[in-house]
Amino acid sequence: MPTNEQRRAAAKRKLERQLTNRAERARRRKQLTIAGSVLGVVVAVAAATGVYFLTKGEDKKDDTAAPEASLTAAAPPAAEPKADLVNCTYSDSQKPADKPVTKPVKTEVPTTGANARISMSMETSAGPIGLTLNNAESPCTVNSFVSLADQKYFDGTSCHRMTTGEGLKVLQCGDPTGTGMGGPGYQFANEYPTDQYAAGDPSSQQAVAYKRGVLAMANAGPGTNGSQFFIVYGDSELPPQYTIFGSVDENTMATLDKIAAGGSDDANGPGDGRPKTAVEIQSVMLDN
């Protein structure tokens, strides 16, 4: 049985870890601070071409373009600290899996201490991309991404979409069909920053800034996250309806810059299509 002195030392260490994690979360929130701008034109182009912007394409298409948002949209509230354990729910989607895979086995996800941040390496045909996943803010998303990577779901898939328009610079990946319509056969709810807004809050529909280096989930509406994700290679504007679950390591942003420099084939309209520099994901693995 531990002595009183040992218990006090353990409690002190736990408090120090908590303070360190809070400081790190505050730093990350500052980096991912969101400020408003415009989305409507891009959504209108996507609707006209029958392609969903940043979606899995599993839900009914909305032919109404989003209204232009205020240029002075407020930043979202700061993320509340998650509990030490978060219960995650993964439900079957209407569309079956496009590549054999199972739902995450683990549904209780720890979010503090050594579990707050997770490092992964994504090897692609265009070069390496290092990822740091923010488990403290989006644990269920990170849990799913790691599960898919462990099952080699992403291996051999291509990044099927790149946008190059003003205010919208993203590379979209994670679809085994390469069409923008594929997924893992299950879905789950949005997390940060969507979960910082009350239901029905109109500011949750105003475009805000997704900064260069952000790693976020694509979806086809609330609660439809699956396997498709996007990487922001240049500061972009979107409503805070796309879960931010990590960032690209700065020392590998050159890979994204090389892909971006090749441009898009504009197959979906001006500034929206497949990257001219082919990007095949060869592997996604946890760093030791």
pLDDT digit string, tens, across residues 138-159: 999 999 999 999 999 999 999 9
pLDDT bracket for residue 48 (50, 70, 90): very low
Range picked from 44-53, 63-72, 146-155 for highest mean pLDDT:
146-155
pLDDT bracket for residue 69 (50, 70, 90): very low
Distance (Å, rounded) from C-alpha 216 to C-alpha 172?
9
Distance from the first to the final alpha carbon of the chain: 33
pLDDT value, residue 84: 87
pLDDT value, residue 106: 95
Neighbours of 125 (CB within 10 A): 13
Residue 138 near residue 245, CB atoms below 8 Å:
yes
In order of their start, the domains of the chain are: 4-286 (2.40.100.10)
pLDDT digit string, tens, across residues 193-215: 999 999 899 999 999 999 999 99
pLDDT digit string, tens, across residues 159-196: 999 999 988 999 999 999 999 999 999 999 999 999 99
pLDDT value, residue 166: 87
pLDDT value, residue 13: 55
Residue 253 near residue 90, CB atoms below 8 Å:
no
pLDDT greater at residue 22 or residue 159: 159
pLDDT bracket for residue 114 (50, 70, 90): confident
- What percent of the chain is modeled with pLDDT above 90? 67
Distance (Å, rounded) from C-alpha 135 to C-alpha 266?
35
Q: Which of 113, 110, 130, 85 has the alpha carbon at shortest distance from 24?
A: 113
Q: In the chain, where do the E strands start and end? A: 36-37, 85-87, 91-92, 108-110, 117-124, 127-134, 157-158, 161-163, 169-173, 186-187, 207-210, 214-217, 229-234, 236-238, 244-248, 272-273, 280-286
pLDDT value, residue 148: 98
pLDDT value, residue 115: 87
Phi and psi torsions of 5, nearest 5°: -65, -40
Angle (CA) 147-234-24 rounded to 5° is 55
Distance (Å, rounded) from C-alpha 204 to C-alpha 255?
32
pLDDT value, residue 79: 74
Angle (CA) 134-28-215 rounded to 5° is 50
Q: Which of 249, 213, 247 has the alpha carbon at shortest distance from 233?
A: 213
Supply the pTM of this predicted model. Answer: 0.76
pLDDT bracket for residue 14 (50, 70, 90): low
pLDDT digit string, tens, across residues 222-264: 999 999 999 999 999 999 999 999 999 999 999 999 999 999 9
Mean pLDDT of 3-20: 53
Q: Is 76's pLDDT higher than 90?
A: no
H-helix segments, 50-202: 139-150
pLDDT bracket for residue 17 (50, 70, 90): low
pLDDT greater at residue 19 or residue 180: 180
DSSP 61: P
Assigned token pair, 107: 């549904």
pLDDT greater at residue 144 or residue 39: 144
pLDDT value, residue 20: 55
- What percent of the chain is modeled with pLDDT above 70? 72
Q: What is the mean pLDDT of the chain?
A: 82
